[in-house]
Amino acid sequence: GNSVTQMEGPVTLSEEAFLTINCTYTATGYPSLFWYVQYPGEGLQLLLKATKADDKGSNKGFEATYRKETTSFHLEKGSVQVSDSAVYFCALRRDFNKFYFGSGTKLNVKP
Amino acid sequence: DVKVTQSSRYLVKRTGEKVFLECVQDMDHENMFWYRQDPGLGLRLIYFSYDVKMKEKGDIPEGYSVSREKKERFSLILESASTNQTSMYLCASSYDQPQHFGDGTRLSIL
Q: Give pLDDT tens digits for B28-83.
A: 999 999 999 998 888 999 999 999 989 999 989 999 999 999 999 999 999 999 99
Residue B39: its pLDDT value, please?
A: 85
Task: Report the share of chain A in percent with pLDDT over 70.
Answer: 98
Residue B98 has pLDDT above 70, yes or no: no
Do the chains contact at A98 and B96, CB–CB below 8 Å?
no
C-alpha closest to that of B51 among B38, B70, B75, B79:
B70
CA-based nearest residue in chain A for residue B41: A103
Q: Phi then psi for B99, rounded to 5 degrees? A: -80, 150
Q: Would you call A57 an interface residue with chain B, using a CB distance cutoff of 8 Å?
A: no
Contacts of B44 in chain A (CB under 8 A): 101
Q: How far apart are CA B47 and CA B34, in angstroms?
A: 6
Q: Measure A104 CA to nearest chain B CA, in Å.
A: 6
Confidence of residue B97 (pLDDT cuts 50, 70, 90): low
Per-residue pLDDT tens over the stretch A10-23: 999 999 999 999 99
Chain A residues closer than 8 Å to B4 by CB: 43
